[in-house]
C-alpha cells in the first residue's frame, strides 16, 4: 500500500450582493372619509298591493287585515272588545283611550256614576295601546293596558264614599299582569297594590301588597298575612284574575288565569264587622316597607258587597270572554 499526501492550493470565494430600496408607507388604520360603494341608487315607488302575486295600484276602497302565520298552531284572538262587556260590578274601569285622559290624568268609570281615579304629573301610569300577550295557542294583539311602574312611582287615588259609604265589606276584581312592560324592580321586597292613602285617618282599613310571589294583606287590626300565591303569573304578560273580597272577621283572596282552577286563601281581617274606609290608592299604599306596584292593569271592578265564591267564578268567566283564559 502506498500513502500519498496532498496539499491543496489557495481557495478564493467571490460573493456578489445586489439590493434595491423601497419606501414603506405608514399603516393606514382608518381610510379617510370611510368606505363608499362604487355605485348606488335609490328608488321611491308608489304604494301598491299584491294581487295574484303581482303589484297593483292601491284601490279606492282598501281593506287591511291583520294575519298571523305560524307553524305551531298559534291563532290571533278574535274576541269582543272589553268595553262591550258589562259585568256585575257597581263601578268598573277599563283601560281604554275613551276613558283614560292623558291630559287631565284621570280614569273615568265605564260602569257606575262615580268620580274618576286621579293621578299627578310624574306619577301617572302610562296607557299602553299595543299590549300583547299569549294564552295557550291564542295570541292577543293591540290590547290596551294601564301600566304602573315602580321606577316612576306610578299610582292613582279615589274616594268611593258616595257609592260605598258605611259598607262593612266590598270586593275588588282586577285583570292584571303583575309585571310592568318596562321591567320590574328586582330590589323591591314588597309592592303595594291596593289600600288607603294613610293610616292616620280614623276608620278601619285593609291594604294589599305583592311579596314573596303572593298577595299579602295587612289591616288596622292584623299584621301582614300571606294570602293567595301568584308566582306562576310573575313571569307572564298574560293577565291574572285577582279578587279581593274584603270584610271582617274574614277576607278571602282569589287568583286564577280563568274561571277554572281558582285558588283561594282566607285570612283574618279583624274581630268584628265594621264600616270600611272608602278612600283608596291604586298601585301604592300607606306602608313604608312597600314600593309602587309593577303591573299592567287591564280591568278594575269594585263591588259594594262581598261576593261569594260562585259569584267570583262567574265574574272571572265573564271577563275571560274578552281577555282569554282557561275554561
String of DSSP letters for 69-126: --SS--EE-----GGG---S-SEEEE--TTTEETTTTEE--SBSS-PPEE--TTSPPE
Percent of the chain with pLDDT over 70: 87
Please report the pLDDT score of residue 4 as a whole number: 59
Highest mean pLDDT among 63-67, 234-238, 293-297: 293-297
Please tell me whether residue 165 adopts helix, strand or coil conformation: coil
Q: Domains in the chain, please, with CATH?
A: 75-323 (2.60.120.200)
Considering only residues 285 and 23, tell me which one the structure prediction assigns the higher pLDDT: 285
pLDDT band at 73 (very low <50, low <70, confident <90, very high): low
Please report the pLDDT score of residue 152 as a whole number: 92
- For the chain, percent helix, then strand, then coil, each to nearest 5? 10, 35, 55
**pLDDT tops 80 at residue 321:** yes
Tell me: the pLDDT tens digits for 101-157? 999 999 999 999 999 999 999 999 999 999 999 888 888 988 999 999 999 999 999
pLDDT band at 232 (very low <50, low <70, confident <90, very high): confident
C-alpha torsion sign, points 78, 84, 86, 90: positive
Amino acid at each position: 500500500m502506498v500513502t500519498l499526501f496532498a496539499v491543496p492550493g489557495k481557495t478564493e470565494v467571490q460573493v456578489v450582493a445586489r439590493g434595491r430600496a423601497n419606501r414603506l408607507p405608514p399603516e393606514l388604520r382608518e381610510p379617510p372619509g370611510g368606505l363608499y360603494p362604487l355605485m348606488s341608487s335609490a328608488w321611491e315607488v308608489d304604494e301598491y298591493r299584491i294581487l295574484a302575486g303581482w303589484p297593483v295600484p292601491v284601490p279606492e276602497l282598501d281593506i287591511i287585515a291583520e294575519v298571523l302565520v305560524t307553524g305551531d298552531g298559534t291563532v290571533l284572538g278574535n274576541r269582543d272588545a272589553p268595553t262591550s262587556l258589562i259585568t256585575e260590578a257597581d263601578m268598573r274601569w277599563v283601560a281604554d283611550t275613551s276613558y283614560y285622559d292623558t291630559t287631565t290624568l284621570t280614569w273615568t268609570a265605564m260602569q257606575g256614576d262615580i268620580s274618576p281615579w286621579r293621578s299627578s304629573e310624574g306619577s301617572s301610569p302610562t296607557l299602553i295601546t299595543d299590549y300583547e300577550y299569549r294564552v295557550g295557542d291564542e295570541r292577543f294583539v293591540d290590547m290596551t293596558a294601564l301600566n304602573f311602574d315602580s321606577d316612576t312611582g306610578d299610582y292613582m287615588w279615589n274616594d268611593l264614599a258616595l257609592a260605598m259609604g258605611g259598607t262593612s265589606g266590598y270586593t275588588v276584581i282586577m285583570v292584571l299582569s303583575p309585571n310592568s312592560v318596562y321591567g320590574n324592580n328586582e330590589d323591591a321586597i314588597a309592592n303595594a297594590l291596593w289600600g288607603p292613602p294613610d293610616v292616620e285617618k280614623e276608620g278601619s282599613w285593609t291594604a294589599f301588597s305583592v311579596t314573596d310571589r303572593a298577595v299579602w294583606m295587612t289591616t288596622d287590626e292584623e299584621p301582614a298575612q300571606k294570602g293567595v300565591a301568584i308566582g306562576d303569573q310573575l313571569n307572564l304578560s298574560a293577565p291574572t284574575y285577582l279578587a279581593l273580597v274584603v270584610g271582617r272577621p274574614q277576607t278571602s283572596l282569589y287568583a286564577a288565569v280563568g274561571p277554572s282552577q281558582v285558588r283561594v286563601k282566607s285570612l283574618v281581617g279583624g274581630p268584628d264587622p265594621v264600616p270600611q274606609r272608602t278612600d283608596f290608592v291604586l298601585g301604592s299604599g300607606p306602608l313604608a316597607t312597600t314600593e309602587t306596584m309593577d303591573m299592567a292593569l287591564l280591568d278594575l271592578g269594585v263591588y259594594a258587597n262581598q261576593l261569594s265564591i260562585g259569584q267570583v267564578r262567574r265574574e272571572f268567566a265573564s271577563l275571560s270572554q274578552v281577555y282569554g283564559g282557561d275554561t
